[in-house]
Structure 1
Amino acid sequence: MPKQAPPRAPVAPVAPAGDELGQRTEGAGLHPDALGLVPPRGMRDIVPPTSAGLKRLRSEVMRVFGLYGYDRVITPPFELAEVLERGLDAVDRRELMRFVEPHSGEVALLRPDMTPQVARIVATRLSDRPSPHRLCYEGTVVRRMRHRARRRQQTLQAGIECIGWGGPEADVEVLRIADHACQQVGLRGHQLELAHVNIAATVLDLVPSAARAGVADALAQKDAFSIEARLQQAGVPAKERTRVLALTELYGDVSVLAAARKRFPRGPIADAIRELSEVVDRLSDIALDATVTVDLGELRGHSYYTGVSVTLLAEGPGAPVGTGGRYDALLARFGMPAPATGFAFDVDNLAWALRAQGQSMLDNAPLRVVVGGDAPAADALAATLRAGGLPAARVDGSVKQATAYAVSWSYPLVIMASGRSHRVVRVHDGETSRIASDTPDIIHQLTSFAHAATGAAL
């Protein structure tokens, strides 16, 4: 059964250590500000070891996607605005980064989201293939910063789209994959918060259009006092005010659905509650790591989503680790009506959540070594290690210099090669040992020593 949780409290952000991903600050050289050589505000360079950790994180998430039959597509970094804007209802137009494409003279957009690109690809390139189309992607999306709390214009995404499959089975598959990916990267205590766009959207239709935006903002904060005041000011009758205010209480564990059925026993809201309940019931048969909760007042993406939606939450970043949902109207805008659902990780926030739990994708990373020592022996050893698939960086100089290099570039081992035997230094604790140059299983022995407790020898 899905684990149950009390109503969600706001998730407080954990202060990052070093850069915003919670990795250590990189480099101690001349700060780029001193030369005026900084990227534009909100953009960033990602350098080792953070880049290595993010690469591993994305690779592991994409590997899980592949386990469920999701094939990777690679989308262009920008597209013509006229095409891409067909599928950007969920994105504030003021966040789009536009420019004039020099060859055509037409307005183009840096991609702010990959789902519309995948929809275009399916409609124009893959429509002759049988459904469902199971596709995945990863890459950078760019949106302008409009809010003080938002520091990034450049975000790493990794996501899936399941196109051509309607019904709760597809929704459950997408949610299951999101949870499985969290399991595989080591995330704990995460929460799948489910909603259905037609619940809050239908209730908001009771509110005059002039007051709707303010009520929606107050509903997002569960601010019943502000909602009541706005509704009274707008002249909304008491019966309708009660229906709107009910949404401020209908969030928390899945038992909320039973209360919602009593509050809204018939009509389109009851239909939406039934659809959401069916997804929750099917999830109860799956051994999820996530806690499943619901928020029937959720309005995120109400102009884009058409059914069940999800927000993946975890301690740390103070923002969603991932979002997704059903968007059955999108494909028709590209000429191919089809049901669809999907999910995307914010990889930066996923890394931050892991770091908040004391984890890093740099932990238990594949072994790589620095090789120094006598040139002929070191060159031969490095070649042997590379032939066996073990990355080996050659350096000259003393063992002290080689170790300093290894520390700076996050290599776990230093090997000082010589004719008969090689000296091995484990960087994190300075433990040393020796290994014969003709050892047949040298990579296995190096790996064992790298991960052994202090005091272990080869």
Structure 2
Amino acid sequence: MNRQIAAPEATLPRGIKDFLPDKAAKIEYLQQSLKNVFHRWAFRPIVPPTLEYLEVLERGLGAGLRDKTFRFDDRQNGKLVAFSPDITPQVARIVATRMKGAPLPLRLCYNGKVLRHTEQQAGKDREIIQAGVELIGLQGPEADAEMIAMAIECLQSLGAAEFTVDIGQVEFFHGVMDGLDLPYPQALAVQQAIARKDSSGLAELLSGLSLDDGKYTEIMALPRLFGGREVLDRAADIVVNDRSRRALENLRQILRVLETYGVEEHVTFDLGELRGLGYHTGVTFQGFLSGMGSAVCSGGRYDTLTAHYGMPAPATGFAFNLLNLLTALDRDLERTVVQCHDVLILQGGPDKQAAQRLARALRTQGYACARDIIERPLQDSLDYGRKMHFSHVMVVDGQAGEVRSIRLADGSEQTISLQAVLAGEFRL
């Protein structure tokens, strides 16, 4: 007596997912669409490894990413190895060590998976699919604007109707905070209040400090400096330190380039955005789709990263989180990404050579087709073909030398010569 073994309740670790054909087709579509944009902007593909030595990888990771790194012993040599939590540091290592003599700038793109430790909460992905670009060797606002314009073009190519790219500048924040010598716990609390846009909480944290009126005004403005281009003017009226004012001029120059590209309508500014403090050295940006709280892409300038691997070079880039992108566009992709196949081929009787020759010929002609090897009633094969997104079913009569072609969308059919189909004289 055969007993079926019940599947365990949890077949995968928390935060890890299987993607069945329909979802996998959408992910593949997203990857290919982004890859097409990367190619149009003259970026070349690179494939980083799955594993890195931990001591090498950590050179390019900020404290936040170090804490999220999966690590374990390599049984071959006893060293610690790790799955990278982000592809950008891997690209920085490759450029600095393997491509050191290559002419700059380098325009590199990638698709890949990363793993990150996360808190144990529902819906938090630990396996992330990234697609992104890195521009190594260029300084200046035009290079930063190129990244933002590319990200916008990517979203447009995917048919995203409503989206914004939110731009920040870590140098603006550093200029405001210069000279504010706070213990780490207090400095962290101030940063968190600014990130939450919590003006009352921020005021309470600052109340016990000896700040002059100008510095107090600058800090208290940070949670409120977000919105359209008018934010840059509001900030210029408030800040007096040179570092923040240089950051504002950098953003104005970037905006002028984006206006030339014709994408400025999608841009907003958030000068209290602190996401890139431990990693970036200038402009940062995140892409958001309407109705989606999490960013679908993020990027910015990171001029010190390749130096950790022995080759100082200015750099900027961005990466899409394809799982967030899939969540945001899932319903829209339902209409545009249907992985259709062309022909399901049937033949009754013991001799199936005619059907096999037909399958080979159709594939040579560029059609996607499969043999329905199971012996079953025609109606069952038609039902199967519809469920598997075939457009046609062809029933082969080897003795008569004929093919009955049935269009599954409306049930219309026609009978044609097998020889004509084999010779490529019939088109679906």
Amino acid at match of 1:336: M
Q: CA deviation at 1:384?
A: 1.8
Distance in structure 1 (CA, Å) of the matches to 2:96 and 2:426: 49
1:62 to 2:42 alignment: no
Residue of 159, 162, 180 corresponding to 2:132: 159
1:403 to 2:377 alignment: no
Partner of 1:385: 362
Structure 1 residues 289 and 234: alpha-carbon distance in aligned structure 2, compared to 1, 3 A threshold: closer
Is the 8 Å Cα contact of residues 53 and 361 (structure 1) preserved in structure 2? no
Partner of 2:245: 270
Is the 8 Å Cα contact of residues 192 and 291 (structure 1) preserved in structure 2? yes
Distance in structure 2 (CA, Å) of the matches to 1:317 and 1:444: 47
1:121 to 2:100 alignment: no
Structure with max Cα Rg: 2
Partner of 1:232: 207
1:424 to 2:424 alignment: no
Where is the helix percentage greater, Structure 1 or Structure 2? Answer: 2
For structure 1, list consecutive stretches of 5 or more residues without a partner in the other structure.
1-30, 447-458
Distance in structure 2 (CA, Å) of the matches to 1:416 and 1:233: 84
Task: Output one character per residue of 1:297-349: Cα deviation in whole Å (capped at 9) or x when no partner.
Answer: 01002111001111011024421100000000101111000000001000111
Is the 8 Å Cα contact of residues 110 and 142 (structure 1) preserved in structure 2? yes
Is the 8 Å Cα contact of residues 179 and 288 (structure 1) preserved in structure 2? yes
Q: CA deviation at 1:423?
A: 2.6
Partner of 1:208: 182
Partner of 1:133: 106
Q: CA deviation at 1:51?
A: 1.2
Partner of 1:26: none
Spell out the pairing of 1:440-451 with structure 2 (5 A cutoff). Answer: 445-446=427-428
Partner of 1:19: none
Amino acid at match of 2:57: L
Task: Give the superposed CA RMSD.
Answer: 2.5
Task: Output one character per residue of 1:253-293: Cα deviation in whole Å (capped at 9) or x when no partner.
Answer: 11211111111244100001111111011101113386110
Partner of 1:8: none
Spell out the pairing of 1:321-400 with structure 2 (5 A cutoff). Answer: 321-356=296-331, 358-360=332-334, 363=337, 365=339, 367-374=341-348, 375-395=352-372, 396=374, 397-400=376-379
Distance in structure 2 (CA, Å) of the matches to 1:378 and 1:389: 17
Q: Which moved more, 1:106-115 or 1:437-446?
A: 437-446
Partner of 2:17: 44
Partner of 1:105: 78
SS in 2 for 1:369: strand
SS in 2 for 1:229: helix
Q: CA deviation at 1:391?
A: 1.6
Structure 1 residues 128 and 213: alpha-carbon distance in aligned structure 2, compared to 1, 3 A threshold: same
Partner of 1:250: 225
Structure 1 residues 56 and 368: alpha-carbon distance in aligned structure 2, compared to 1, 3 A threshold: farther
Q: Which moved more, 1:86-95 or 1:128-137?
A: 86-95
Q: CA deviation at 1:413?
A: 3.6
Structure 1 residues 409 and 214: alpha-carbon distance in aligned structure 2, compared to 1, 3 A threshold: farther
Distance in structure 1 (CA, Å) of the matches to 2:149 and 2:353: 53
Structure 1 residues 290 and 445: alpha-carbon distance in aligned structure 2, compared to 1, 3 A threshold: farther
Q: CA deviation at 1:46?
A: 1.7
Distance in structure 2 (CA, Å) of the matches to 1:36 and 1:348: 23
Q: Report percent identity of matched pairs.
A: 33
SS in 1 for 2:269: strand
Task: Output one character per residue of 1:107-128: Cα deviation in whole Å (capped at 9) or x when no partner.
Answer: 1111100011101111111111
Q: Which has the higher contact order (CA 8 A, sep 6+)?
A: 1
Structure 1 residues 369 and 88: alpha-carbon distance in aligned structure 2, compared to 1, 3 A threshold: farther
Structure 1 residues 240 and 264: alpha-carbon distance in aligned structure 2, compared to 1, 3 A threshold: closer
1:169 to 2:142 alignment: yes
Is the 8 Å Cα contact of residues 309 and 325 (structure 1) preserved in structure 2? yes
For structure 2, list consecutive stretches of 5 or more residues without a partner in the other structure.
none
Partner of 2:416: 436
Residue of 155, 161, 181 corresponding to 1:182: 155
1:75 to 2:48 alignment: yes
* Count, aligned residues: 413
Residue of 298, 303, 310 corresponding to 2:278: 303
